[in-house]
Amino acid sequence: MPELPEVETVRRGMSPAMVGAKIERADINRPDLRWPFPPKMAERLQGQVVMQLRRRSKYLLADLSSGESLLIHLGMSGRILITGTQVGSFVKEHAAPEKHDHVILQMDNGARITFNDPRRFGAMDLLPTAQEETHFLLRSLGPEPLGNAFHEDYMARALEGRSTPMKSALLDQRIVAGLGNIYVCETLFRAGISPKRKARNVSRKRAGQLVPIIRDVLGEAIEAGGSSLRDFRQADGELGYFQHSFDVYGREGEPCRNAGCDTLIRRIVQSGRSSFFCPKCQR
């Protein structure tokens, strides 16, 4: 499932084509994805100007001139393709319709926004912009890791007294929003913390040190266009490249990249997910 860097990469790709433009036509080609679409979705989208395109955790939010926001979640296999926009000296032509093009937004600037999702684990909804914090997908989310509310004192307090392993704590969207399996593994490696260590056994100092490490990992991934594993593509159809920089994720049996360490990367399963780590460098 795309994590924060992948969703932020898609947001940045969509913004030039959508922000300030009007949705001229909305084609809704099925009644649902993971959940049913909201009533009269096409009618509520058509004629609205996209005022702003934001990201909250792993969700995209397009604020509309109607006072509603279009929420988009890519799910396991969802992707967004933008055509009819200029890239350098060339215009990216509209692609032929595909079987799993479930929602198509035709913008008045000539751009076409296509949501394609073969497995239909993605989601779309319309909600009042002013009440987004009450939406069932958003109301329990913790602070954004790139925002001001996420700081050293907060991180230390959030982990204090928790008996859950560090891997599970950082995956808890109520503690910090947007982190997923890949970037938690990479963060814990850089921090030298074992994914098995209980959160309550991490000192306040080490907990605080996680904050800049998380920001560095996410920032580097965003600049690389995210990680292209399985279905993820950027909005222009290109791959992300951060997977080539992984220190531990997916590297089971390969040597640790830390200088002076020749220990092999191990993989364990925690709560049904693979954790990759160096047993020597991470304590």
Helix boundaries (H) for the chain: 4-18, 41-45, 152-159, 166-171, 181-191, 204-223
Instruction: Return the CATH number of 152-277, one of 3.30.750.210, 1.10.8.50, 1.20.1050.90, 3.30.450.40.
Output: 1.10.8.50
Segments of the chain assigned to CATH 1.10.8.50: 152-277
Name the active-site residue from 55, 58, 167, 233. Answer: 58
DSSP collapsed to 3 states, 54-100: EEECCEEEEEECCCEEEEEECCCCCEEEEECCEECCEECCCCCCCCC
Query: Does 3 participate in catalysis according to the annotation?
Result: yes
Segments of the chain assigned to CATH 3.20.190.10: 4-134
Query: Does 58 participate in catalysis according to the annotation?
Result: yes
pLDDT at 256: 98
Name the active-site residue from 252, 273, 279, 280. Answer: 273
Which pLDDT tens digit goes with each residue over 28-86?
999 999 999 999 999 999 999 999 999 999 999 999 999 999 999 999 889 999 988 75
CA distances from 41 to 13, 27, 63, 203 (A): 24, 9, 15, 49
Distance CA 213, CA 256 (A): 18
Q: Does residue 165 sit in helix, strand or coil?
A: strand
Query: Does 119 participate in catalysis according to the annotation?
Result: no
Bridge pairing between strands 123-128 and 112-116: unpaired
Is pLDDT at 95 greater than 80 in this prediction?
A: no
pLDDT at 241: 41
Is pLDDT at 231 greater than 60 in this prediction?
A: no
- CATH homologous superfamily of 4-134: MutM-like, N-terminal (3.20.190.10)
Distance CA 17, CA 185 (A): 34
Which pLDDT tens digit goes with each residue over 186-212?
999 999 999 999 999 999 999 999 999
Is the pTM of the predicted complex or chain greater than 0.85?
Answer: yes
Query: Does 273 participate in catalysis according to the annotation?
Result: yes
pLDDT at 226: 60
